[in-house]
């Protein structure tokens, strides 16, 4: 276990170190519905991070992406996210069957601010929803219908500090580890790195929709 000077164990101590004074807007900016600003942000977002929790307490965070606006704002209290082809682990779906609580983080490329949404989710199969979310003639099999309970925008400090949108600070693509390298490190299989990478590249080309 990591040795530390102090572990924070109470809200009182937390607020002693991080007081609320001077941050009025931070606590007043939360709403329980999708206003016009939230709707517009979601319409520009091609990427959302989805967090769910298993009954045992383990958290899963999953990225979802499609053309901008792929998350449907059905009304001011409801979002719909189509489920695209993936790896069939469906960790998030398993979690939602145990605990419907869900949190979303919408990201717009090049934009500093993010939009946070929390609520309850249902896994559904619906003909009309599937038709509305078809791409290249291919419909999703399932979708998430989310009852919105909390919405607010998050400031840009984290993206400014990370310089996420500054291409001159991006690493060389080939220098970062790949999924193929992860598979070779964790799965006992008689394939070379190039063979595993070829499998993944073929999957990306054939199973987007």
pLDDT by 10s per residue, the chain, length 209? 999 999 999 999 999 999 888 777 766 689 999 999 999 999 999 999 999 999 888 999 999 999 999 999 999 999 999 999 988 889 999 999 999 999 999 999 999 999 999 999 999 999 999 999 999 999 999 999 999 999 999 999 999 999 999 999 998 877 899 999 999 999 977 899 999 999 999 988 888 89
- Alpha-helix runs per DSSP H in the chain: 11-17, 24-28, 36-44, 91-98, 127-132, 157-162, 179-186, 193-206
Q: Are residues 107 and 197 in the same domain?
A: no
Residues 140 and 175 in one domain: no
pTM for the whole thing?
A: 0.91
**85 and 181 part of one domain:** no
Residue 6 lies in a domain: no
Same domain, 113 and 198: no
Same domain as 123, residue 77: yes
Given strand 78-82, what is the order of strands in its sheet? 59-65, 47-53, 101-107, 114-124, 143-154, 78-82, 72-75
Residue of 165, 129, 166 lying closest to 144 (CA atoms): 129
Q: Tell me if 17 is assigned to some domain.
A: yes
Spatial separation of the C-alpha atoms in residues 53 and 96, rounded to whole Å: 7
The token pair at 167 is 């291409």
> Is the domain of 109 the same as that of 180?
no
Domain with 177, as residue range(s), is 171-206
Are the CB atoms for 97 and 75 separated by under 8 Å?
no
41 touches 115 (CB < 8 A): yes
Structural domains counted in the chain: 2
Residues 180 and 157 in one domain: no
């Amino acid at each position: 276990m990591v040795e530390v000077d102090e572990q924070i164990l109470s809200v009182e101590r937390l607020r002693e170190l991080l007081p609320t004074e001077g941050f009025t807007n931070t606590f007043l900016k939360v709403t329980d519905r999708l206003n016009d600003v939230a709707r517009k942000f979601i319409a520009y977002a091609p990427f959302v991070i989805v967090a769910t929790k298993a009954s045992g307490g383990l958290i899963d965070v999953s990225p979802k992406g499609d053309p901008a606006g792929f998350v449907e704002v059905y009304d001011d209290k409801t979002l719909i996210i189509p489920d695209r082809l993936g790896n069939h682990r469906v960790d998030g779906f398993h979690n939602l069957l145990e605990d419907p609580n869900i949190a979303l983080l919408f990201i717009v490329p090049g934009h500093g601010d993010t939009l946070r949404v929390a609520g309850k989710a249902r896994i559904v199969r619906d003909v009309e929803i599937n038709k509305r979310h078809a791409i290249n003639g291919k419909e999703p099999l399932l979708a998430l219908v989310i009852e919105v309970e909390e919405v607010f925008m998050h400031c840009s400090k984290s993206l400014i500090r990370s310089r996420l949108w500054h291409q001159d600070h991006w690493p060389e693509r080939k220098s970062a580890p790949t999924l193929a390298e992860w598979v070779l490190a964790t799965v006992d299989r008689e394939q070379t790195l190039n063979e595993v990478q070829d499998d993944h590249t073929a999957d990306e080309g054939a199973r987007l929709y």
